[in-house]
Structure 1
Amino acid sequence: MQFFEQKIKNIYEGLDINLEKKENICFIGAGGKTTAMFRLARELKSLGKKVLVTTSTAIYYPSEKYIDRVLVANNISKINDLKSQRGLMIVIGKDISWEGKLLGLDKCFIDKICSKNIFDYILIEGDGGKCRPIKAPGNHEPVIPFITSITVGVVGLDSIGRFIEDRYVHRPKIFEEITGSLPYEIVTEEKIVKLITSDIGLFKNTPKNSKKYLLLNKAEDEERKKSAYIIRDLIRKKGFKIDGIIISSLLNNDIFRN
């Protein structure tokens, strides 16, 4: 078993992002998805890039500590006003729900924003994880805009060894169907690989021309890192086409790429 040997400082390095090229990046899955998305946004902003963060579903209203502006808008004219500004991180939603969540933009509206060429990078959260370490996508998920150039599937390594039940797995019944599991079996590396590689699993609805990256997060100890290596090697044996795998403990600021 070969371990991850290349430690990197930034998520954008692990995603092979060309800083001279505009990208539309969608995050899906569970286990640190929102944290990873906002971290990437801060990295890109620190390089003087104009970054839009949004969702096609819903996210909790973000803390304004790390962002420049939250914009509630369903009219493209409000977004046109941002053309002259640079080096900003903007969060956009179409409305605020009764529970304080920023409601997402529909795919067509996101495509329209992209066509305006206002932002260097658009980061989109494509589904919700209910704060669980792992999830299976519902029939309507994930919602990935057609213009997405990079799709990042996120899995929390703290799901391994947990029961397949609602406390630890979002949509456990669908997870069971995809992985061939029974209720209350244990989440294993092999089951996670089935979720990742299935046509109706983690990367479901990924646009044909979008690159696929896997982010195995919450590698806080050696046991979880070992699990990440097992997952990586099993994916390779299956011949599943993926453009890159990142193992991380965003909590401890440790990021590695293969």
Structure 2
Amino acid sequence: MSSSLHQALCAERGIVCAIGAGGKKTTLFALLEGATERTGLTASVFTPDFPEDIDASVHVEAPETLRRLLPTDPAMRIAYAQPTDKPRRVGPLSFDEITALHALGKFTLTLVKADGARMRRIKAPGEHEPRVVPGSTVLAITSIQSLGRPLDDRIAHRPERIAEVTGQQLGEPISGTLIARLYTRQGGLANGTGNSTVIPVLNMVDDAGLQARAREVAQAILAESERYDRVVLLSARRSGQLVDIILR
């Protein structure tokens, strides 16, 4: 993998999981579409059907069938999952299945959607989230366009949980301090990620004003936690457009 996006997100090889809200699918699709080596896309949670125009070979089959099909599919990009009775959804694969298929399929990179956010732009993880493959790299995504919006369920998934983690009151405007705390406090976006490398990603940085605010949030994240060595800023104007990398 040689694209600047892959390099910025430390997503050049291995298994990479996306969590959070405000651009998981678009970021994963951008990484898939920009892949120059064999890449898989799957999920460890229930997720919407793969789009019809996805630039990939698609397999929605039982795990034992995937074990047979993926090694023989010559496509560079392969999206795969298992069937489910849930309408317009595909089913998750277990950690062991994802790890085994990464090896059997001879993928350089496997991309995994590892939680849900109900189309909101900011979230805190639930009790059993995220579903991160052990040892993977984790992209923890938040939309910077949540700034200034009231902390409620119109913009946030689990706003009560966000309030508990960050100390901000429900209904108050979402601040840069709240977003930074969501990355740095116990129970926030790093919850359940173990020893994985976690890359904070601030998405939807679509103009100069938002870029300035996002840089302030990024610097606060790095100042408040030694866990991270970078924060990556992306734009939604073009999926996965790299805006900036804020390094420690």
Q: When the two structures are superposed, what TM-score results if normalisation uses the length of structure 1?
A: 0.87
Structure 1 residue runs of 4 or more that deviate by more than 3 Å after TM superposition: 84-87
Partner of 2:68: 80
- Which residue of structure 2 aligns with residue 33 of structure 1? 24
Which residue matches 1:228? 214
Deviation of 1:97 (Å): 4.1
Of structures 1 and 2, the one with the larger relative CO (CA 8 A, separation 6+) is 1
Is the aligned partner of 1:15 residue 2:9?
A: yes
Which position in structure 1 is the counterpart of 2:158?
171
Local SS of the residue matching 2:53: coil
Letter of the structure 1 residue corresponding to residue 16 of structure 2: I
Residue number among 204, 208, 214 corresponding to 1:218 in the alignment: 204
Of 96, 113, 121, the residue aligned with 1:108 is: 96
Q: Distance in 2 between matches of 1:102 and 1:237?
A: 39
Contact 2:44/2:112 (<8 A) preserved: yes
Say if 1:67 and 1:91, in contact at 8 Å, map to a contact too.
no
Q: Give the aligned partner of residue 93 of structure 1.
A: 81
Instruction: Give SS of 1:113's match.
Output: helix
Equivalent in the alignment of 1:50: 38
CA RMSD of aligned residues (A): 2.0
Paired residues, number: 243
| Contact 1:214–1:244 (CA under 8 A) maintained in structure 2 | yes
- The corresponding residue for 1:251 is 237
Q: Which moved more, 1:159-168 or 1:102-111?
A: 102-111
Match of 1:189 among 148, 155, 176: 176
Return closer, same or farther for 1:72/1:9 CA change in 2, 3 Å cut-off: closer
Structure 2 CA distance for aligned equivalents of residues 240 and 217 of structure 1: 21
SS at structure 2 position matched to 1:70: strand
Q: Give the alignment of 1:118-129 within 5 angstroms.
A: 118-129=106-117
Structure 2 stretches lacking a partner, 5+ long: none
Q: Distance in 2 between matches of 1:118 and 1:236?
A: 35
Note if contact 1:164-1:185 (Cα within 8 Å) is conserved in structure 2: yes
Structure 1: where are the runs of 5+ without partners? 1-7
